[in-house]
Structure 1
C-alpha cells in the first residue's frame, strides 16, 4: 500500500503543473481591466499583455524537449515550477507594462514547459493499468486551475478588496499563484528522476533503486527487465524524429494535438460571453454561464479519470468526438435560424464541454505521451505540444474575425467539420493502448510502422 501511495504521490505532484498551467492562462481575464485602467493601455499594448503568455508558451516548449533529454525530467520540471513562482512575483511587483509583459512571458515559459513535462513525467512513472487515469489527472488539474483563477479573481473583485488595494486589485490576483507554485516546489523535492531517463543515461543502479522505491519487488524487477531490454534494443541508435519508425506516431501526435484545439474548445471558454451576447443574452448572465461552463469542464473530466483505463482511450475518443460534432452542428443551426433564446444554446454548449472534457481534453495528452519510445519521447512530445500551442494562437486570432465577418453559425460548423475529420482520423489511425506498458507500445507503433 505504501508503494502504491508513493507512486500516486509522484503522479499527483506532477499534475500540479497542470493546475498552474490553468491558473496562469486564466488569471489575466480578471486582472486585465484594472491593469488597463491603471496604465491606460491602448489596443496594441492590451493585445501584447494578453498574447505575451502565449509567446512564452511557445518559447518554453521550444527548448523543453532538449532540456528534458539532457538534464532529466525532474530538473526540468523544477525549472518550470521556478518560472511560475518568478512570474507571480514579477507580475505582482510590476511597476510598468513592460515588467508585466515580462512576467507574463516568464509564466508562459512555465506553462509551455509544464505542458510537455507534467504528462510525460506521469506517463513514465504510472503503472500501465492506471496510466490513462494518472495522466487524466493532469487535464483535471488544468480545469481546476482555470476555475480557481475565476473564483480567486471574483473574491478579489469585491468592495472590501478594492478598498484595501484601491486601484491595484490586480496585484493580489497574480500573487495568489505564488502559493501553489511554492507548494509545487516543496512537493517536487521528494520526487525522484524518471527511471526510464536514468536507464537511457546508463544509470542502471539508480534506475533500479527508483523502481524499488515506487513498486513492489516483483513489479520493480519486471519493469526493470522491460526497460532494460528496450534500452539495449535502441543502444547506439540516434533516431531522429524523421526516422521511418517515428514518423507515423509523430503524425498521429501532431494531428491529435492540433485538432484538439480545432474543436473550438478555447473559442467557447474564452469567447463564451461574446457568443452568448450575440445570442441576445444579458452580459451579466453571460458571465454566469461562463462559470457554469468551467464547472462542467471540471466535473466531466472525472468521467475520463474513472473510465479511460477500463473503457479504453479509443472508444472514449469516438464517443466524445461524435458528441462534439453533433452539438457543434446544432449550435450552428440555432444561430443560423435565430433560435438562440431559451435554454437550448446553453444546454448544447454544456454538452459540448462535457464531451470534450471526457475525451479530447485528457485523452489527447494520454496518447501523445505514450506512443513514443523513451529515446525520442521528450523531443516528439515537445513538437506535438508546440503544434498544439500554435493551433491555440491560430484559433485565438481567427475566432474574433469569424464571429464578426462569417457569423457564429459558420464558426460552429467549421469546428464541427474539423472535429469530424478528427473522428475519422483517430478511428483509422489510433490503436487501443489501455493496459500496455510503454515498451509494449513501441512494438505497436514504432516496430509496426517499420
Structure 2
C-alpha cells in the first residue's frame, strides 16, 4: 500500500516520533509567520519613511531621535486593522478549501497567497496600495491559520495534541520577538530615515512562506481527510507510519483508523438531512447528539474573550504605548521587544 504515496514523501523515511516532529516543525513555521506578521507593524508604524509614504503623520527630532507624530490615527489604524479583516475571510476560505482539495494543497495555496500579499506590501508607494496589500496578505494568513493547526492535530496522537499545539504557538510569540528585535536593529540605519527600515521587515516574511510552500509537498496528507474522500488505503498506510508498524503500534493504528471511519460515517449520515454549512456548524442544526454547535460556540467565544483583554493592541502598538508613557522613541522599541521575550 505504501506505493500509493509518492516516493519523495518524508513518510517513507520517517515514522512515529520523527515523523510527528517533522510535521510539527513545518506547522510551527506557519505559526511563526503569523506571529512575525503581527509583531512586524509595531516597528513599521514608527519608521519615518513609512509615515511619510503612507501620509498619516510626520516625525520630529526629539533628543536626536525621530519621534512619530500621528495626525490621522484612523488611517494608521485602518492599515493595521484591514489585515485582520483579511484573516477572517481567509479563515472561512481555508476551512472550505481544506475539505475540498486537502490540507497540503490548501497550505500551499495559502502560502502563495500570503507571499503575493507580502510582496505588494513591501513595495507599497501609498496608503491605498498598502491597504489592499494588507488585505490580500491577511487572506493568505487566514487560510494558513485555519488549515495548519487542523492538519497538525489530525496527524498527532490524541495524548500529545495539546503539547504540540503549545509548542507551535510558542513559535507564534517567537515570531513577534524576531519582528521587534529585527526592526530595532534596522532602526539605526541612516539615523532612522532609510526606507529599508520598514520595507525589509515586511519582505522578510516571504522567506518562511517560501520554505513552507516548497516543503509542504513532501509531507503526508491528513488521514482523516484521506478517509473523507475515500482513499482509505492511503489513510491506513499514513496512520501506520505515524503510529508505528510493529507490535502493539499496528493495533493502535488500526483502532484509530476504524474510529475515523466510524466518525466519518456519522457525519455522512447527518449530511443526508442537513448540509455542513457554516451556519449549521455554528448553530449545531442537524448534527444530532454530536453537539457540534456547542463545541464551535465554545471555541469561538474563547477566542473572542482572549482578544477582548487587549493583547492584540499591545502586540501591534507597544512602542506607541510606551512612548505615550514617557519613554523616548528608541527606548520604547527595545522595552517592547523585551516585553515580548517575557511572553515566551
Shorter-chain TM range is 0.7 to 0.9
Of residues 228, 242, 247, the one that matches 2:261 is 228
Kindly report which structure 2 residues correspond to 1:69-108, keeping only aligned pairs within 5 A, or say none.
69-108=99-138
Matched, 1:37 2:52: yes
Kindly report which structure 2 residues correspond to 1:158-173, keeping only aligned pairs within 5 A, or say none.
158-159=188-189, 166-173=194-201
Q: Which structure is higher in helix share?
A: 1
Is the alpha carbon distance of 1:98 and 1:186 closer, same or farther for their aligned partners in structure 2, counting shifts above 3 Å? Answer: same
Of residues 300, 304, 309, the one that matches 1:258 is 304
Is the alpha carbon distance of 1:80 and 1:220 closer, same or farther for their aligned partners in structure 2, counting shifts above 3 Å? Answer: same
Query: Hey, what's the Cα distance between the residues in 2 that align with 1:181 and 1:102?
Result: 19
User: What's the TM-score once normalised by structure 1's chain length?
Assistant: 0.60
Q: Report the equivalent of 2:8.
A: none
Matched, 1:197 2:225: yes
Cα RMSD for the two superposed structures? 2.4
User: What's the TM-score once normalised by structure 2's chain length?
Assistant: 0.78
Query: Hey, what's the Cα distance between the residues in 2 that align with 1:26 and 1:84?
Result: 16
Q: Report the equivalent of 1:21.
A: 34
CA contact (8 A) 2:189 2:197 kept: no
CA contact (8 A) 2:89 2:139 kept: yes
Q: Report the equivalent of 2:270.
A: 237
Kindly report which structure 2 residues correspond to 1:308-327, keeping only aligned pairs within 5 A, or say none.
none
CA contact (8 A) 1:53 1:104 kept: yes
Query: Hey, what's the Cα distance between the residues in 1 that align with 2:192 and 2:122?
Result: 16
Kindly report which structure 2 residues correspond to 1:3-18, keeping only aligned pairs within 5 A, or say none.
3-18=16-31
CA contact (8 A) 2:38 2:316 kept: no
CA contact (8 A) 1:20 1:84 kept: no
1:369-418 Cα shifts (integer Å, max 9, x gaps): xxxxxxxxxxxxxxxxxxxxxxxxxxxxxxxxxxxxxxxxxxxxxxxxxx
The size of the alignment, in residue pairs, is 296
Query: Hey, what's the Cα distance between the residues in 1 that align with 2:323 and 2:51?
Result: 22
Query: Hey, what's the Cα distance between the residues in 2 that align with 1:285 and 1:162?
Result: 14
- Structure 2: 5+ residue runs without aligned partners? 1-13, 58-71
CA contact (8 A) 1:7 1:215 kept: no
Kindly report which structure 2 residues correspond to 1:43-62, keeping only aligned pairs within 5 A, or say none.
43=72, 44-62=74-92
- Structure 1: 5+ residue runs without aligned partners? 299-450
2:185 is paired with a residue whose SS is helix
1:177-205 Cα shifts (integer Å, max 9, x gaps): 11111111122121121110111122211
Query: Hey, what's the Cα distance between the residues in 2 that align with 1:41 and 1:170?
Result: 15
Query: Hey, what's the Cα distance between the residues in 1 that align with 2:324 and 2:191?
Result: 32
Query: Hey, what's the Cα distance between the residues in 1 that align with 2:319 and 2:293?
Result: 41
